Structure 1
Amino acid sequence: MKVLLAHKFFQLIGGAEVFFFETGRVLEERNHDVIYFSTSAEGNKASPHSDYFIDPPNYSEGSFISRVLGIRRMIYSRDAKQSFARLLAETKPDLIHVFAIHVHLTPSILVAAYEANIPVVMSCNDYKHICPNYKMYHHGRICTDCKGGKFYKAIINKCCKESLAFSVASCLEAYVHNSLGIYRKYVHTYLFASEFMARETERFWGVDSFRWGILRNPFNSKQFHVSESCDDYALFFGRLVGEKGVDVLLKAAIHAADIKIKIIGNGPAEDSLRALAGELRLTNVEFLGPMWGDDLNSILSRARFVVVPSVWHENFPYVINQAFAFGRPVVGSDRGGIPELVSHGERGLIYAAHDERALAAAMTELWDNPVRAAEMGRVAKLFSDSEFNDERFYQRLESVYKGVLDESSGPRR
């Protein structure tokens, strides 16, 4: 099978890129011919198809006219469509699998796929298909204001990067894509990593109005090993931004003073979080800064448990995969796909987001019951090794691809 994978970046930036590259790796290792399409940028990985890559849009610099043209291009790029069409004509893939394509590639490439009569599956790792700001979250609250096609709410809320200009552009983008029927007409099957995101999409688009399936993120859990013992600390690791709920964790630390909490990561909220810890006079919280690879794994593998206090609807947090792979249970909020992974009482505990006392109580429950915490960690490792490995991922991916190809010779239906 010859598969074309498209994503807006061709270098590791975050979890979305891990999903993209790992999908390609798994396919290539099983002798599939994999073709790539993305944007050109310094630091990109090597690709035999890089001549077809396009320059990313520039809509934040230059003259007013150039910025306007940049915004137009981020909505529907004719350059991307033409380059993608040439790549399709040259390589003739059986199927196209797209990931995050908005702004940089734009859904114009879906139209090119449709015109070439090649079916498309789309993995959604965020909410951009239903929400102009990707997150259904802004200014400290969950938001579904744009439901029913009310995309002008993005301008009223100024929810896209807290910028009026970006919010206007994203609003226009959503209206154009909606009017062209981009998402209904040109994508054969949607793939979601969580049941939550699938059901939330149904709430916006209507039940049975589109094809979808579950494809959890690729992750090879078996390569990690469980430490025989643990040290006396709980761990948060991730980007320090408002929606991650680290401020809730700091407030919970007041009510769980016996629990030592280590925080790994950096981001725009780091200074305010450190200031909050100072204001609260916390002596049980330690900021370790960013860590990666073996340095992170060394801390993670010996934690009592991991805390995921997100206040937005996380789709599928990789941090939970990583925690489970090391046999660490998770205390997580009741947002997005977190409860699906944790399964309250089995692989950790779930509490109501924003409720620092409930978070403190959940942490204390595992802290005071190390035997129970260890058992949850053991169950988490068994689950992770069974569900998250290359073979399991490939079986699901191949099943989706074959189903699409068997059902239709193209996306027209």
Structure 2
Amino acid sequence: MRILLAHNNYIVQGGAEVFFHEVARVLEANGHEVLRFSAAEPGLDDVSHAEHFPSAAEYKSGTLLSRTLQLPKMIYNREAKAAFARMIERFKPDVIHAFAIYIRLTPSILDAAREAGVPVVLSCNDYKHICPNYKLFHHGHICEDCKGGRFYKALANRCCHGSLTVSAASMTEAYFHEWKNLWRRNVSMFLFASRFMADKTLDFWGEDSVRIDYLQNPFDADKYHVDANVGDYMLYFGRLIDEKGVDTLVDAAERVPEIPVVVVGDGPDLEKLEMRARQLDNLRVVGPAWGADLAQWQHGARAVVVPSIWHENFPYVILQAFAASNPVIGTRRGGIPELIEAGPHGWTYEAGDAEALAALMREVRDMPDAEIARMGAAACRYTHLSFSDAAIYERLRKIYGQVIS
């Protein structure tokens, strides 16, 4: 089977690119011919076919006028469509698997696939297909104002980076994609890592409006292994930004001064959190940590807290915690409870409720160490069984077989 994979960026910048390349790796390891397609970017000299990659709109720099002139290419990149059509003609794929393609490649490439008669599966790792700002969240609150095609609400709310200009561009993009029906007309199967995102998509578009299935991201549990240990503090690690709900964790820490809390990470809220830490004896904000340094913090933790107040889809931080044998305290938002409740892996509470989180932290503190260890071991086994190469490949094989047939 020949599979053509399409994603905005080739060089790894975050989890989306890891997903793209890991799917390719798993497919190649099982004997399939795989070709990766991305937008042009510096540093691809060793990629044999990179000269065929299309250019993308330059929207992060330049004058307002120059960026405005790039808007049509950000919405529907005709150069990308033509390049993708040539790639399809040359490679002759049996199926196309697309990932994040908006703004750089754009959904124009989906038109090329349909015109060539090649089925497309699309992995949705955020809410961009139904929400102009990707998140169903802005200014500290969950938002579904654009439901029903009311994308003008994005402009009214200034929900895209807090900018009137960016919100106007995102509104225009959403209206154009809806008018051309670029998603539903061209995609044979929409793939989701969480049932929550799948259900929310059908809530916006209508039941039975599209075919859906589930594909969770490959995850190398061995890479994040930490020797099992039951520590004494509650640990947060990740980005320090409003939707992650770290403020709720700090408010909970204030209510339980006898329980130590450690916050590891970086982001726009770092300085604010450092100020709070100077006022609380049980709160420590240590800044970013990776690799062995992060593993040391995980080794000393009793549980990891994921206090997100937006609808997280498939947070890698939970899998990383599980791989380190850390049970998780998480909110009932997005796909978080699906991971926690897949086994005796942790506890959930209502997002934003500092009192409920504080009560859970007391409960976890008072549980026997042996019970905490048992939950951590179950979580670790779960990552090894559910996200192995064999498990992911079996899902891919079945999904591709369905759309091809």
**TM-score normalised per structure 1:** 0.94
Distance in 2, Cα, partners of 1:171 & 1:275: 37
Alignment match, 1:24: 24
Counterpart position of 2:321: 323
Q: Is residue 392 of structure 2 the alignment partner of residue 403 of structure 1?
A: no
1:292 is matched with which residue?
290
1:409 corresponding residue in structure 2: none
Answering whether residue 330 of structure 2 is matched by residue 332 of structure 1, we say yes
The answer as to whether partners of 1:222 and 1:389 remain within 8 angstroms in 2 is no
Structure 1 match to 2:243: 243
Q: Which moved more, 1:43-52 or 1:92-101?
A: 43-52
Q: Is the 8 A contact 1:324 1:381 kept in 2?
A: yes
Q: Structure 2: how far apart are the matches of 1:69 and 1:224?
A: 44
Q: Distance in 2 between matches of 1:337 and 1:125?
A: 11
Q: Judge conservation of contact 1:145–1:153 (CA < 8 Å) in 2.
A: yes
| Residue 92 in structure 1 maps to residue 92 in structure 2 | yes
Aligned to 1:189: 189
Q: Structure 2 counterpart of 1:161, which letter?
A: H
Shift of 1:174: 0.4
Q: 1:112 aligned to 2:112? A: yes
For 1:91-140, what per-residue CA distance to the aligned partner results, in whole angstroms no more than 9, with x for missing partners? 11111101110001100000011111111000000000000000000000
Q: Percent identity, aligned pairs only?
A: 50
What do you get for the CA RMSD once the two structures are aligned? Answer: 1.6
1:14-70, Cα deviation, whole Å (9 max, x unpaired): 221221111111111112111111122234584222112222311344355432221
Structure 2: distance between partners of 1:189 and 1:344: 25
Structure 2, unmatched stretches of 5+, are none
Out of 304, 307, 321, the position equivalent to 1:306 is: 304
Supply the AA of the counterpart residue of 2:77: S
The CA distance in 2 between the partners of 1:294 and 1:34, in whole Å, is 33
1:271 positional shift: 1.5
- Within 1, Cα distance between the matches of 2:386 and 2:132? 32
What runs of 5+ residues in structure 1 fail to find an aligned partner? 407-413
TM-score, normalised to structure 2's length? 0.96
Give how far 1:225 is off: 4.2
Q: CA deviation at 1:302?
A: 3.6
The residue correspondences of 1:250-261 to structure 2 (distance < 5 A) are 250-261=250-261
CA distance in 2, matches of 1:275, 1:80: 47
Cα deviation, residue 395, structure 1? 0.6
1:80 aligns with 2:80: yes
Q: How far apart are residue 223 of structure 1 and its match?
A: 5.3
Structure 2 Cα separation of the partners of residues 45 and 286 of structure 1:
44
Distance 1:222 1:405 in 2: 34
Q: Which amino acid aligns with 1:363?
A: M
Q: Which amino acid aligns with 1:360?
A: A
Partner secondary structure for residue 235 of structure 1: strand
Query: 1:400, CA displacement in angstroms?
Result: 0.5
- For 2:77 and 2:236, the matched residues in 1 are separated by 40
User: 2:207: which partner in 1?
Assistant: 207
Correspondence for 2:3:
3
Separation in 1 of the partners of 2:224 and 2:162? 40
